[in-house]
Chains A and B, each alone.
Chain A
Amino acid sequence: KAGVTQTPRYLIKTRGQQVTLSCSPISGHRSVSWYQQTPGQGLQFLFEYFSETQRNKGNFPGRFSGRQFSNSRSEMNVSTLELGDSALYLCASSLNPSSNYEQYFGPGTRLTVT
């Protein structure tokens, strides 16, 4: 069974631009969560989607948004990029909402904002 895939793997953007990251969950997994990982803050929860609906949202500004499609694939968007948005963005999928099932992570998208 293929794992979680994320595209692109690496991205370089400049301040003020916007970016869209994509995540394809493991086949059969319907819940997708997004995380930001930085050396200083560690892994921080962004949001979770299940059945095309956002279930939970972390403490991030409104510049960070996401969506989920009917095939469970998910995208996250960051608008008006700031230098501090440079991070590894990780997507994780699980069978059902994360309160009951373990999550499996993708390799991440390394975003660099210059």
Chain B
Amino acid sequence: GQQLNQSPQSMFIQEGEDVSMNCTSSSIFNTWLWYKQDPGEGPVLLIALYKAGELTSNGRLTAQFGITRKDSFLNISASIPSDVGIYFCAALNNDMRFGAGTRLTVKP
């Protein structure tokens, strides 16, 4: 199936730093989503984006739906230890495709 290319694969940052991750695809999608998954749990929806160019914030999280509809990025500002987890991008047309995830480690 259609893959989403998510990068980076992992990040090790200091508490208080900002984080940026992105997803790209060779295909156009109608909706981009960002999820966070903690160990042993299902992904939790963080932000949903429905329009090309849309920029949406959820607290310290900001995500954008790329103007070409083929990419999206997620920024986390002023990271804290509880931001640790795996972040997935997802994109929707008829079904949902996922990126491979970005594993975030935050050092206190």
Binding site for B on A (CB under 8 A): 4, 6, 33, 42-45, 48, 56, 58-59, 90, 92, 98-100, 102-108, 110
Task: Please tell me which one of the listed residues B30, B88, B97, B101 contacts residue A99 in the complex, with CB atoms under 8 A apart.
Answer: B30
A-B contact list, 11 entries, CB within 8 Å: A33-B96, A42-B100, A43-B43, A43-B88, A92-B42, A92-B96, A99-B94, A103-B33, A103-B96, A108-B40, A110-B40
B35 touches A105 (CB 8 A): yes
B95 touches A103 (CB 8 A): no
Q: Does any Cβ of A come within 8 Å of B98's Cβ?
A: yes
Which residues from B are CB-within-8-Å of A99?
A: 30-31, 92-94
Task: Please tell me which one of the listed residues B1, B40, B42, B45 contacts residue A106 in the complex, with CB atoms under 8 A apart.
Answer: B42
**Number of residues of chain B lying within 8 A (CB) of chain A:** 23
A107 touches B42 (CB 8 A): yes
- Give the CA-CA distance A110 to B40 in the complex, in Å: 8
Binding site for A on B (CB under 8 A): 1, 30-31, 33, 35, 40-45, 48, 88, 92-101
- The smallest C-beta distance from A93 to any residue of chain B, in angstroms, reads 11
Q: Which of A33, A43, A59, A107 has the most CB of B within 10 A?
A: A43
A43 touches B93 (CB 8 A): no
Given the known A-B contacts A59-B1, A102-B48, are A45 and B41 also in contact in the complex, defined by CB atoms under 8 Å? no
- The smallest C-beta distance from B18 to any residue of chain A, in angstroms, reads 25
